[in-house]
Amino acid sequence: MVSPEADDQALVAACRTGDRQAFKSLMQRYQRKVYSVAYGFLRNQEDALDVVQESFIKVHRYLANFEGNSSFYTWLYRIVTNLCIDHIRKNKRHRELEFDDGLRHDGEDGGMSALPLSSLGDPAQVLQRREILDAVQDGLQYLSEKHRAVIIMRELQGLSYEEMAQAMKCSKGTIMSRLFHARRNMQKLLVERLGYVPSTLADATNEDRDANGVATPQVVLP
């Protein structure tokens, strides 16, 4: 019997021999991440949990087809994404308020540079603040399904544009444009939710810049 602490590859190999406990270990390792993705898409706890269950059943069913060309979690996230998109398509009549792709970026919203997050201090501390996390949830809630989908696929799952295009059955160019607009809408919603005034944010952002006028890097760039 393989240890629950074994790496994904070992657990997958054990699962293929019928080791149910190894499969449970694999599920326990990813269940909350899968839930995060599903909840990000669907915005409903029970729907998200249904997708978690369905995802792992599919994983078990098709584990023999997993060739190992990508990592297990990438493969898993693709399954989750497809299930979420299917779920959304089946339940379109229940969807929430949806924005068009072009809405909220008509040139009067200040653009990405007005995003207030970096003005709030150390990122680790900022992200622990309940109001920021709630604001993100509200922002996701009011994004269109397509915008929410690209945001989740990219920001949470790290899918490539090509993978996103396959999942959403559109071109890479469409994904690039859609993601850009989704980010701008998200940015706008965060600003509204947090109640910051763009001019103040601009000042705050300037405070983070060094003597040469270059903003202090706070994230690892690709």
Partner 1 sequence: MTRFSSPIPEEKLSAYFDGELEPAERQEVEQWLTRDAASHATLTELGMMRQAIDASLAAEAAKVPQARFEQIWDEIDRTLDRETAAHMPTVAAPSLWARMFGVLRPAWVPVAAVGGVAAVLIVVVSSGAVTPANTDAVVASKPALTTPSAPVALVDTNPALAVAPDPESSFPAPDMHEAEIERIEFGGKNGRIGTIEGKRGTTTVIWVSDEDVGPGQRSL
**Interface residues for partner 1 in 81-140 (CB under 8 A)?**
105-107, 111-113, 115, 117-118, 123, 126-128, 132-134, 136-137, 140
Q: How far apart are CA 170 and CA 190, in angstroms?
A: 28
Site for partner 1 in 138-177 (CB under 8 A): 140, 151-152, 154-156, 160-161, 172, 176-177
Site for partner 1 in 180-209 (CB under 8 A): 180, 183-184, 186-187, 190, 205, 208-209
Site for partner 1 in 40-79 (CB under 8 A): 40, 45, 49, 52-53, 56-57, 60-61
* Secondary-structure percent of the chain, ordered helix, strand, coil, rounded to 5: 70, 0, 30
Q: How far apart are CA 38 and CA 24, in angstroms?
A: 19
Answer whether 143's CB lies under 8 Å from 218's CB. Answer: no
Based on CB atoms, which residue is closest to partner 1, 60 or 78?
Answer: 60
Based on CB atoms, which residue is closest to partner 1, 57 or 197?
Answer: 57
The distance of Cα 80 from the centroid of its chain, to the nearest Å, equals 12
- Smallest distance from partner 1 to CB 52, Å: 6
| Alpha helices in 43-129, H assignment, sequence order | 45-62, 72-90, 123-127
- Smallest distance from partner 1 to CB 161, Å: 5
Answer whether 39's CB lies under 8 Å from 31's CB. Answer: no
Site for partner 1 in 13-42 (CB under 8 A): 20, 23-24, 27-28, 31-33, 35-37, 39-40
Q: How far apart are CA 146 and CA 168, in angstroms?
A: 9
Based on CB atoms, which residue is closest to partner 1, 93 or 107?
Answer: 107
Based on CB atoms, which residue is closest to partner 1, 75 or 116?
Answer: 116
The distance of Cα 196 from the centroid of its chain, to the nearest Å, equals 24
